[in-house]
Amino acid sequence: MDIINKISSAFWSTDIWLPPNTTWADIAPGSRPDVVHANYKDLIWPIPLAAVVMLVRYTLERFWISPVGKSLGIRSSRPKKAANVPILENAYAKSTRLDNKWLGPLSKQTDMSERQIERWWRLRRAQDKPSTLVKFCENTWRCIYYLYSFIFGVIVLWDKPWFWDVKSCWYGYPHQSISNDIWWYYMISMSFYWSLTGTQFFDVKRKDFWQMFIHHMVTLLLMSLSWVCNLHRVGSLVLVVHDCADIFLEAAKLTKYANYQKLCDAIFAIFTVVWIVTRLGFFPRLIYSSSVEAPQILPMFPAYYIFNTLLLMLLVLHVIWTYMILKIVVDSLQKGLMSGDIRSSDSEDLTDSSENVRMANGGSSSSRSKNKSSAIAGGVSQRKSHNASNHTADTEEKTTK
In this prediction, residues 140-154 reach a mean pLDDT of 95
When divided into structural domains, the chain yields a total of 2
CATH of the domain at 97: 1.10.10
- Report the interhelical angle of 261-277 vs 232-257 (nearest 10°): 160
- b or e along 11-27 (b: 16 or more beta carbons within 10 Å of the residue's beta carbon)? eeebeebbbeebeeebb
Beta bridge partners of 360: 341
Q: Write out the residue range of the structural domain in which residue 119 sits.
A: 86-128
Enumerate the H helices of 158-179 as residue ranges: 161-164
Rg (CA), the chain: 24
Query: At which of 274, 301, 334 does a domain end?
Result: 334
52 and 121 share a domain? Answer: no
- My answer on whether 221 and 168 are in the same domain is yes
- Residue 77 resides in a domain: no
pLDDT over 50 (residue 183): yes
Query: Are 120 and 216 in a shared domain?
Result: no
Range with lowest mean pLDDT among 29-43, 56-70, 387-401: 387-401
Residue 14: partners with Cβ closer than 8 Å, 6 or more residues away: 22, 23, 24
Q: What is the pLDDT of residues 70-117, one digit of tens each?
A: 998 887 766 677 777 788 888 887 777 777 778 888 888 888 888 888
Q: Tell me the range of 57-66, 90-99, 322-331 where mean pLDDT is highest.
A: 57-66
The yes-or-no verdict on residue 168 having pLDDT over 50 is yes
Indicate whether 100 and 188 sit together in one domain. Answer: no
Count of beta carbons in the 10 Å neighbourhood of residue 362: 29
User: Last residue of a domain, which of 334, 351, 368?
Assistant: 334
| Helices vs strands, H then E, count in the chain | 17, 2
With CA atoms as reference, report the closest residue to 311 among 249, 398, 218, 227.
218
**CA-based nearest residue to 352, from 387, 325, 330, 316:** 325
Alpha helices in 97-173 (DSSP H): 100-110, 114-128, 132-157, 161-164
Establish if 16 belongs to a structural domain.
Answer: no
For the cut 60, the answer to whether the pLDDT of residue 337 exceeds it is: no
Q: CA torsion, points 388, 270, 200, 192, in degrees to nearest 10? A: 180
* Terminal alpha carbon distance of the chain: 44
Is 46 part of a structural domain of the chain? Answer: yes
CA dist 302 and 325 (Å) reads 35
Same domain, 229 and 295: yes
Q: Using an 8 Å Cβ cutoff, are 363 and 264 in contact?
A: no
Angle CA 48–7–195, to nearest 5: 20
Are both 246 and 321 inside the same structural domain?
A: yes
Q: Nearest Cα to 287, choosing from 371, 169, 151?
A: 169
Same domain, yes or no: 181 and 304: yes
Evaluate whether residue 377 is within a structural domain. Answer: no
4 in a structural domain: no
Residues near 202 by beta carbon (within 8 Å), at least 6 away in sequence: none
Q: Between these two residues, 337 and 163, which has the higher pLDDT value? A: 163
Residue 379 lies in a domain: no
Q: Is residue 3 part of a domain?
A: no
Q: How many residues does the chain have?
A: 401
**Are 88 and 96 contacting, i.e. CB atoms less than 8 angstroms apart?**
no
CA–CA dist 180, 228 (Å, integer): 16
pLDDT at site 399: 35
- pLDDT for the residue numbered 98: 79
Mark whether 175 and 290 lie in a shared domain.
Answer: yes
Higher pLDDT among residues 79 and 386, named by residue: 79
Nearest CA to 18 out of 40, 47, 41 is that of 40
In whole numbers, what is the pLDDT of the chain averaged over residues? Answer: 78
The SS3 assignment for 359 reads strand
Answer for the pair 141, 149: CB distance below 8 angstroms, yes or no. Answer: no
User: Is position 20 within any domain?
Assistant: no
Q: What angle do CA 16, 22, 25 make, to 5 degrees?
A: 105
Whether residue 150 sits in one domain with residue 122 = no
Choose the most confident range, by mean pLDDT, from 20-24, 49-53, 317-321: 49-53
* Half-sphere exposure (Cβ direction) of 284: Cα atoms closer than 13 Å: 11
250 vs 376 pLDDT, higher one: 250
- Taking the CA of residue 69 as centre, how many other CA atoms within 13 Å lie in the half-sphere pointing to its CB? 27
Residue at which a domain ends, from 300, 334, 368: 334
| Residue 202 and residue 241 share a domain | yes
Give yes or no: residues 228 and 119 share one domain. Answer: no
Name the phi and psi angles at 77, rounded to 5.
-85, 160
Are 202 and 276 within one domain?
Answer: yes
Would you say 351 and 207 are in contact if contact means Cβ atoms under 8 Å apart? yes
Which of these ranges, 58-67, 142-151, 200-209, 245-254, has the smallest mean pLDDT? 200-209
